[in-house]
Structure 1
Amino acid sequence: MCLLKVYVEEDAGRRLVARDIVFISKEGESIKLKGIEFEEKTLMNVDVFSIDALNSVLILKKRNES
């Protein structure tokens, strides 16, 4: 089964924040991740940077706070 791994790109590089993600939604200023075991994680101040379907990777980028 090819489930997503989710990384947040920061100044120091990429950090793995979730794995085995089956559903992603944007709700206002947040991105909600749902895992295969029905666990949920909400990330704030990030935007979608890239989705690599072949390698099952979602990369989020920290939003610049101005």
Structure 2
Amino acid sequence: MDIIILNDGLYSLVPVTKSMLEGITLVSGIDFYELCDLLRLKLTEYHTEINTYTMNNGIGNFYGCIGK
């Protein structure tokens, strides 16, 4: 699974690592979309003024997830 980051008009794929999943309890039956939502909630901050999710580490805007 990769997360899609938009930074200055360029989309990048960032592989999900174990450190990104730290603190997230994975239960059986969780699907791809629920895991993507959990990652979005953990790794981003929502800005209502511009209606976007910005990554906490400042590398760009969260755009979504893609499975491999």
Instruction: Report the structure number with the largest CA radius of gyration.
Output: 2
Bigger relative CO (Cα 8 Å, ≥ 6 apart): 2
Q: Which has the larger share of helix?
A: 2
Give the TM-score of the pair, scaled to structure 2: 0.30
Q: Which has the larger share of strand?
A: 1
Give the TM-score of the pair, scaled to structure 1: 0.31
